[in-house]
Structure 1
Amino acid sequence: MRTLKSLLTIIENDPNKTWRDELPEVQLALNSTRSRVTGYTPTELMFGIRAQSLGISRLAPSAEPEQRLDLEEVRSIAAENINRAACSEVERFNRGRATVKPFSTGDYVFIKSSERNQTKLHRKFRGPFVITRVLEHDRYELRNIDGSNRTYKYAHENLRAVPRGYDGLVDIATSLTNYEEEAETAGQGQEEMERVSSDDESETVSVDGCTASSGTLSASEQDEP
């Protein structure tokens, strides 16, 4: 597609030509161009024909217009060339690839911000987050250190490790976690105290009621002759 756009751009910049009129010649040029990967032209792989380019056909119009090739042999060689090129590309990619250091549960990381929500001055990463679970295929489950229970799932390539000594991040995260646990424990303790206090008040009211009843009964007995 990139080659096609380049050819059409060149034609369009010629004041004497339009790309619509030149499409047949562009198509013939592409189909007659030998691929660096396969070693053959698209015409040779599709039809087993070695077509002449535009320049040769114009210089030697009486020459043999096409040459027949063994289609099975051509395609077999092209497949081998493709596999060889693919292996070479994988090796080249792996040579320049950085060694991935996996994260562990409890590690603190930043999440790469989505490009569609970024401006030029927007931060490239957000967080920090803590890893709560290691998933398969280099994926992780994360949770914000603000104490919320919402979890996120991200691939390793979208995460960056928090530098050591990042403004006491570990202490802050630990404090937030402890605060959350203490708040939950305190809430349960407060509920227990309120329940006990309510029971004590009920018992006091019952005792006072019995005492009042006894006093009334005694007063009634004294009034009798």
Structure 2
Amino acid sequence: MIRYHVSENPDEHPFNILPYAVQCYNSTRNKTTGFTPYKLVFGHTSGRPPEHVYLEKELMSKYVRDIRNKLEYYYQIARVRTDEQEQIAKIRFDSRVSPNLQSYKVGDKVFVKQSQISNKLQNKFDGPFEITQVFENSALLKNPETNRISKVNFDRLKPCFKT
């Protein structure tokens, strides 16, 4: 939204649209929790509560009780949905990493995926490195140029098939 606004109005400062972008974000449903950030914080969708709430103390205390109960309910649902999404992400991650767990042995040559690539044309993997020790989810790798040993998770490794 901000990028589009800046491209359409290059002379206008990007901070002018920031309050609208924040309102948009706070009113958009989160995929994981199933609620908007605004609803999780305040217990209702954005906007003011009914005016009659401020007129009588009894109504005000009932309103506060209702909001508190709603928030507890929303938090409980959000926790359940977040746990479900964590399980889905874990299954997806394990399906990608688990097949490689048994395939690495001491002495194998592997490439290591770079964590940050500064250039589009730069190689995504460094190596080859030699595996010196294998753990449950990681391995110790020896750099043949510097003889430096580092521990790397399996999800960043790729087998090297050249000799």
TM-score range, shorter chain: 0.5 to 0.7
The one-letter code matched in structure 2 to 1:8 is: I
**2:84 match:** 84
Secondary structure of the structure 1 residue equivalent to 2:150: strand
- Matched residues in 2 for 1:136 and 1:111: separation? 18
Work out whether residues 142 and 153 of structure 1, in 8 Å CA contact, stay in contact via their aligned partners in 2.
yes
Work out whether residues 132 and 143 of structure 1, in 8 Å CA contact, stay in contact via their aligned partners in 2.
no
5+ residue gaps in structure 2? 52-62
- Matched residues in 2 for 1:97 and 1:137: separation? 9
Choose which of 2, 8, 27 in structure 1 pairs with 2:2: 8
TM-score by length of 2: 0.60
TM-score by length of 1: 0.47
**2:40 match:** 45
- Matched residues in 1 for 2:27 and 2:119: separation? 45
Work out whether residues 109 and 160 of structure 2, in 8 Å CA contact, stay in contact via their aligned partners in 1.
yes
Secondary structure of the structure 1 residue equivalent to 2:17: helix
Secondary structure of the structure 1 residue equivalent to 2:140: strand
Work out whether residues 133 and 139 of structure 2, in 8 Å CA contact, stay in contact via their aligned partners in 1.
no
- Matched residues in 2 for 1:36 and 1:133: separation? 40
2:15 is the alignment partner of 1:28: no
Q: Alpha-carbon deviation of 1:138?
A: 2.3
More helix by share: 1
Task: Say if 1:153 and 1:162 are closer, same or farther in 2 by CA, change over 3 A.
Answer: farther
Between stretches 78-87 and 151-160, larger displacement belongs to 151-160
Q: Alpha-carbon deviation of 1:103?
A: 3.5
Task: Say if 1:159 and 1:31 are closer, same or farther in 2 by CA, change over 3 A.
Answer: closer
**Cα deviation 1:114-156 (Å, max 9, x = unaligned):** 677999698x554574x55445652225474x9x9x4523424
The one-letter code matched in structure 2 to 1:152 is: I
Root-mean-square deviation (Å): 4.2
- Matched residues in 1 for 2:122 and 2:17: separation? 46
Task: Say if 1:85 and 1:140 are closer, same or farther in 2 by CA, change over 3 A.
Answer: same
- Matched residues in 1 for 2:6 and 2:120: separation? 36
Q: Alpha-carbon deviation of 1:8?
A: 0.9
The one-letter code matched in structure 2 to 1:91 is: I
**1:103 match:** 104
5+ residue gaps in structure 1? 1-6, 58-62, 167-225
Work out whether residues 31 and 42 of structure 1, in 8 Å CA contact, stay in contact via their aligned partners in 2.
yes
Structure with bigger gyration radius: 1
Task: Say if 1:85 and 1:136 are closer, same or farther in 2 by CA, change over 3 A.
Answer: closer
Bigger relative contact order, structure 1 or 2 (CA pairs below 8 A, ≥6 apart): 2
Task: Say if 1:160 and 1:74 are closer, same or farther in 2 by CA, change over 3 A.
Answer: same
Aligned residues: 144
- Matched residues in 1 for 2:81 and 2:18: separation? 30
**Cα deviation 1:38-93 (Å, max 9, x = unaligned):** 111111111213224xxxx9xxxxx958x964111111111111111111122233
**1:160 match:** 159
Secondary structure of the structure 1 residue equivalent to 2:99: coil
- Matched residues in 2 for 1:23 and 1:111: separation? 43
